[in-house]
Amino acid sequence: MSGRRRILAAMSGGVDSSVAALLLQREGWEVIGISMDLYDFSEVTKDRAGTCCSLDDLYDARRVCDALGIPYYVLNLRDEFRREVIDPFVREYATGRTPNPCILCNEHLKFRALLRKADELGAEGVATGHYAVIRREEGRCRLFAARDASKDQSYFLFSLESERLRRIRFPVGEMTKAEVRKVAEVAGLPVFEKKESQDICFVADNSYAAFINRSGVQEKEGLFLDGAGNVLGVHKGVLRYTVGQRKGLGIASKEPLYVVAIDADKNEIVLGTEDETLSAGATAGRASFVAGAPPAAEFRAAAKVRYRHPGVGATVRVRGDRLDVRFDAPQRSVTPGQALVLYDGDEVLGGGWIECANVSRS
């Protein structure tokens, strides 16, 4: 033991996690680089551009650790990734929902499995390149949006409670992306110009339906209906559609049509006008709060119904582990399976998973 405080740096092979490790080292931490081996990406495609966690990314992470002079390890989490991320992803799509696997990966892999590994290695916690801010107060930790709003990732972290946040560091949360790249360039890190990952790592070419089909879920053609139950046409399978979708419907209409609802049990998809995608509110399940409990049984918050949603004022009623959320103004394409995340200004209060939207006819 060196006597310095030890921390694991989760290394994705990108510039953000690389700079996070560098900044920790400069602060005097004993940094151990670690990457997660999550999936056999040879099953996906040889071209991994735009995704994360490929073999090329592991190679880049090792190069950065070599440049920093810190140890580097790869942790095999393939079984856990399949159980906690891929299997729920497949189940949700098969029931007509649109899941967000990145949130589950953060919760179960980065900030649960890696914290267990930190315990094994005698480390205080885990650091990542997430754009979010943790503020430590006596007795608790609070989670806030990043300084760089265009890169903010706090939405994906809503399920992290204060006790776990105590052991987590986000060194780049107060920086802009341009600042991060500049630090990496000046330090001579080999990934300072590397492009960002965008797509879901285990799905090739954004072809969710093909991936789910290979996972054993079969689909068949069904009916497109309007809100009154009239048949509008035939769809190719519910896996290929999501609430709010307009393109690729193949239905001739005087005005644009959108997916309003998906009933996987009946193999039916309801189409409507853009106004028919409006929802006055939503019900969310599996609610959790950063502080461990909601502010009150009923409270005001800004609700984000998907990543990049600007947020809307809302009244939230807590009923056990469920949230009944009423928006101040109707919102478009509130999608079952997505996370509904609650904010007080820049602070993340918590959230839940959208079960259904309350349709507005206004």
Catalytic residues: 105, 201
* Whole-angstrom distance, CA of residue 126 vs CA of residue 30: 12
Amino acid type, 44: V
Beta strand ranges found along 131-275 (DSSP E) = 132-137, 140-145, 168-169, 222-225, 231-235, 258-263, 268-272
Q: Which residues contact 155 (CB under 8 A, 6 or more apart)?
A: 304, 307, 339, 341
Please answer whether residues 314 and 301 qualify as being in contact, where contact means their C-beta atoms are separated by less than 8 angstroms: yes
The CA distance from 241 to 246, in Å, is 9
Helix (H, G, I), strand (E, B) or coil at 348: strand
Three-class SS of 60-119: HHHHHHHHHCCCEEEEECHHHHHHHHHHHHHHHHHCCCCCCHHHHHHHHHHHHHHHHHHH
Q: Which residues contact 62 (CB under 8 A, 6 or more apart)?
A: 72
Give the strand pairing for 312-319 and 268-272.
unpaired
Identify the H or E element spanning 181. Answer: helix 177-187
